[in-house]
Amino acid sequence: MSDGAKERGLCELYEEDPERADYLVFGRIAESNRRGFLRGAGLAAMSAAVGATIPFHRNMPAGLIPSALADETTDFKLVGKDGLIVLNDRPINAETPPSLLNDDVTPNERFFVRNNGTVPEMAEKMDATGWSLTVDGEVDTPLTLSLDDLKSKFEVVQLQLQLECGGNGRAAFNPPAKGNQWTLGAVGCPEWTGIRYADLLAAAGVKSSAVYTAHYGMDGHLSGDPDKLPISRGVPIEKAMDPSSIVAFEMNGQPIPTLNGFPVRVVCPGWPGSCSQKWLRRIQLRDVVHDGPKMTGTSYRVPYYPVEAGEKVEKSDFNIIESMPVKSLITRPVTGHELTDGRTLLVGGHAWAGDLSVKALDVSIDFGATWQAADLAGPVNPFAWQNWSAELTFPEKGYYEVWARATDSEGTAQPFAIAWNPKGYLNNSMHRIAVRVTT
C-alpha cells in the first residue's frame, strides 16, 4: 500500500477507485471468484465500517460501495459523537458543523476528532489498568507515574482551553492542498481537568540542556508496523512551562473520550492541535528540536514569507507553526437561515487568537463595506475562546451574508482572503453565513 492510500479512508477511496478500494478492503479476490467473496480481515473491516455484520456478503459484487458509506458520509456514526461530519474513516477524522459548536463549553460529543493512526485498545475499552506515564530525557530524575499519581501528587486544575487543528479551513484552499478537507469545525473549547505540564516537569527537574519536548502516544501506525509511530510532536520548553499547558485526564468532568485521548493527553492550547498528544504514554525532554513523525519536512510548517497560491517552496523556507492566528465562528443562526418575522436577528459565536486574546469582533451584512461592533466577552481563563453576540437589523427583504471578523490584542484582524500555503494550514479567513430576509 502506498503512503497516499494509507492516508485515505474507505469513502474517499471508493469514490476515486472502487476496484482498488475493493482490493484493499476485501483483500485478494481469486480470479474464479469475481463476486467479491469477503474473507477474514477484509470482511471484518467492512463490517466495522458499516457498523454491522453483512449476512449476504458472499453476494456482494466486487467494487460495490456499501450504500451505508456511499449515500452520505454523515450516515457514518462515531460512537460517543453527535452530528459530526466524518471526513475520513481510516484514520478517523470528523469535524463539527459550526451551528453545533454554539455551546460556550464544547460538549464531549461535539468535539472534533483528528487521528493519524489507529485508536489504542486501552482507549477503545476505556480501561486505564496498567497505564503509566514516563517522563525522561533531559531531566534530573526520570519519572514513571500512574493515573493515581497524577491525580494525587500534583495540584489538579480545571481550565477551558481551545484546540484547533492546524489544517482547519484547508478545504477552501485553491489550488487544493492534500490532507483532510476540513471546512470550519476542527476546533472546540471544552473544560479540561488535569495537572500543569510545568508542575510535572518541575517534579522531574528540567536540565539546562532541555530545549524541546517530545510526546509519545499509544496509537498504532496505519501500516500495522509496531515499530512505527503515526505522530510524535512536541513544543519548546517555554510553551510546556506555560501555566495554561496541561496534561489532562478529564474532559468536561468525564474521562477523556476514546477518540480524544483516553486516559491522558497533552493540551497545549492556542497552538496547532497536533502539539496536544492524545493517548499519552511518554514525555521526553530533548536537547534539540524534536524530530518525530510529523515534526519534520513540511508537516505543520508554513513558508516564513508570503507565497503565491500554488507556488513551490523550498523545504528550507518552512518554519514550524507555533501560535495559531486570530479567528472566529458564527455559531447561530445556522447558515441559510430564513428570517420570516421581522428585520432583526441575533447572531453570535466564538472568537480566539492563539497565544493572544481577542480585543474586538465586528460583523458586516453588506459584504464588508460597513462594520458593526459585536458584544465580546473576555475569556473565562487564558486560552478559552471568547463568546460574542450582535443584534443585526436588515434594511429590506433579500439575500444577505453575515460576516464576522475578529481582531487580536495586537491589532491583527482576520482577512477575507486566504493566505495560501502548500500544506493548507492556518486558514483564518472570515466566516460568513447566508441569511434570507423574507418580509
Residue ranges in contact with ligand MTE by CB under 6 A: 111-117, 163, 165, 217, 219, 230-231, 260-261, 273-274, 276-279
User: Nearest-5° angle of CA 358, CA 359, CA 362?
Assistant: 95
Output 170 or 359, the one with its CB closest to ligand MTE. Answer: 170
Least distance in Å: CB of 252 to ligand MTE?
Answer: 13
Least distance in Å: CB of 281 to ligand MTE?
Answer: 9
Least distance in Å: CB of 1 to ligand MTE?
Answer: 18
Least distance in Å: CB of 373 to ligand MTE?
Answer: 32
Output 13 or 163, the one with its CB closest to ligand MTE. Answer: 163
Give the closest residue to 434 by CA, choosing from 343, 338, 327, 345.
338
Q: Which residue is nearest to Mo ion (CB)?
A: 165
Of Mo ion, ligand MTE, none, which one does residue 276 interact with (CB within 5 to 8 Å by kind)?
ligand MTE
Distance CA 385, CA 81 (A): 21
Of Mo ion, ligand MTE, none, which one does residue 388 interact with (CB within 5 to 8 Å by kind)?
none
Residues in contact with Mo ion by the rule CB under 5 A: 114, 165, 273-274
Least distance in Å: CB of 174 to ligand MTE?
Answer: 22
Of ligand MTE, Mo ion, none, which one does residue 279 interact with (CB within 5 to 8 Å by kind)?
ligand MTE
Output 100 or 165, the one with its CB closest to Mo ion. Answer: 165
Output 102 or 116, the one with its CB closest to ligand MTE. Answer: 116
Of ligand MTE, Mo ion, none, which one does residue 219 interact with (CB within 5 to 8 Å by kind)?
ligand MTE
Least distance in Å: CB of 333 to ligand MTE?
Answer: 25
Least distance in Å: CB of 313 to ligand MTE?
Answer: 21
Of ligand MTE, Mo ion, none, which one does residue 115 interact with (CB within 5 to 8 Å by kind)?
ligand MTE
Question: With b meaning 16 or more CB within 10 Å and e meaning fewer, what string describes 88-124?
Answer: bbbbbbbbbbbbbbbeeebbbbbbbbbbbbbbbebbe
Output 274 or 331, the one with its CB closest to ligand MTE. Answer: 274
Output 407 or 421, the one with its CB closest to ligand MTE. Answer: 421
| Cα torsion 233, 239, 242, 244: sign | negative
Output 268 or 433, the one with its CB closest to Mo ion. Answer: 268
Q: Which residues pair with 332 in a beta bridge?
A: 348
Of Mo ion, ligand MTE, none, which one does residue 260 interact with (CB within 5 to 8 Å by kind)?
ligand MTE
Burial class of residue 79 in the structure, from the number of CB atoms within 10 Å of its CB (0-12 exposed, 13-18 middle, 19+ buried): exposed
